[in-house]
């Protein structure tokens, strides 16, 4: 398993889910991905936040919704050296601070933002907790993707905040796509999809992809567990087979079986 202990600054390092039905949602993802999602021993201190574990490694987070009317959704967090300095860069680059930097016990320091296109995301300054302990394995996060109708503004914003380099990625028949690179590395750490080619309006958002061994079987199981299929399983050239799903509470996410070379 690709076990992770550190993340280079600018790399997506964690995802968590806000949901109104934490018990049912924990059961759904536990059955779908093989997660163990026990109740936290210090639930009062953490606001009911739970760690979802895969093979005893932290794979994602899960928590009750904090505000009335808040939609259930997955959030992507980017690792940074200094959350406070990042908040200043977000403001300077035209983003909005949703939650000011705050300490999370001795685990790290976090903050929440929206980018100029309207997509919501977070940052994580690690202390005793670096982020996901496992990535790119079945049941774990394999990719983080910004969906936006203004990729040029997104490129400028995230480049200024995180120093991201973007490179065009060609996928036959697909919408324009950019891969995100940190420190000149060849491996991409995420992507930016241009949603203007879609028939319907797609609100800007960060999509979380989880690796699976069988996309079709996972989509079928998701419906049996009370979820829905938003995008039927399909092959994407140079990438693999994907589907977009909803969990029972309405949060959407994607599953991917990558091509071996990807």
Residue extents of the structural domains in the chain: 12-126, 141-258
Question: For 112-132, what is each residue's pLDDT tens digit?
Answer: 999 999 999 999 999 999 999
- Whether the CB-CB separation of 184 and 165 falls below 8 Å is answered with yes
pLDDT on residue 171: 63
Please report, rounded to a whole number, the percentage of residues in the chain having pLDDT higher than 90. 82
- The pLDDT assigned to 201 comes to 82
pLDDT-derived band at 107 (thresholds 50, 70, 90) equals very high
33-42, 123-132, 160-169: which has the minimum mean pLDDT?
Answer: 33-42
CA distance 259 to 169: 15
Contact predicate 258/241, CB 8 Å = no
State the average pLDDT over residues 128-147: 97
**pLDDT of residue 261 exceeding 90:** no
Its pTM surpasses 0.75:
yes
Best CA proximity match to 22, nearest among 59, 49, 56? 49
Q: Sheet of 165-168: strands edge to edge? A: 165-168, 177-181, 190-194, 141-148, 205-211, 252-258, 240-246, 228-236
Percent of the chain at pLDDT > 70 equals 95
Mean pLDDT of 209-223: 98
Q: Specify whether the CB–CB gap between 38 and 50 falls below 8 A.
A: yes
Whether pLDDT at 215 is above 80: yes
Mean pLDDT of 210-227: 98
Domains 12-126 and 141-258 belong to one CATH topology = yes
Q: Which CATH architecture has domain 12-126?
A: Roll (3.10)
Average model confidence (pLDDT) for the chain? Answer: 93
Closest to 52 (Cα-Cα) out of 72, 31, 68, 69? 31
- Is the pLDDT at 224 greater than 80? The verdict is yes
pLDDT at 262: 54
* pLDDT reported for residue 200: 73
| pLDDT tens-digit map of 168-202 | 997 666 788 999 999 989 899 999 999 987 767 88
Tokens of 112: 């929440």
Buried-exposed string 86-109: b where 16+ CB fall within 10 A, e elsewhere? bbebbeebebeeeeebeeeeeebb
- Which numeric CATH code is attached to 141-258? 3.10.180.10
């Amino acid at each position: 398993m690709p076990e992770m202990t550190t993340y280079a600054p600018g790399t997506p390092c964690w995802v968590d889910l806000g949901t109104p039905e934490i018990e049912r949602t924990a059961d759904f993802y536990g059955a779908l991905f093989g997660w163990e999602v026990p109740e936290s021993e210090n639930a009062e201190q953490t606001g009911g936040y739970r760690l979802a574990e895969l093979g005893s490694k932290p794979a994602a987070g899960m928590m009750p919704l904090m505000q009335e009317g808040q939609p259930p959704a997955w959030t992507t967090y980017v690792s940074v050296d200094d959350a406070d300095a990042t908040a200043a860069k977000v403001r300077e680059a035209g983003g909005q601070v949703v939650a000011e930097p705050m300490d999370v016990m001795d685990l790290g320091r976090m903050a929440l933002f929206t980018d100029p296109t309207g997509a919501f995301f977070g940052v994580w300054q690690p202390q005793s907790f670096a982020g996901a302990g496992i990535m790119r394995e079945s049941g774990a996060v394999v990719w983080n993707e910004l969906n936006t109708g203004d990729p040029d503004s997104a490129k400028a914003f995230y480049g200024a905040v995180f120093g991201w380099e973007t490179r065009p990625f060609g996928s036959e028949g697909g919408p324009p796509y950019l891969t995100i690179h940190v420190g000149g590395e060849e491996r991409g750490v995420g992507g930016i999809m241009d949603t203007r080619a879609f028939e319907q309006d797609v609100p800007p958002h960060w999509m979380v992809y989880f690796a699976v061994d069988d996309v079709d079987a996972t989509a079928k199981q998701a419906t049996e567990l009370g979820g829905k299929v938003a995008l039927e399983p399909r092959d994407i050239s140079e990438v693999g087979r994907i589907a977009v799903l909803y969990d029972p509470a309405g949060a959407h996410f994607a599953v991917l079986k990558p091509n071996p070379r990807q």
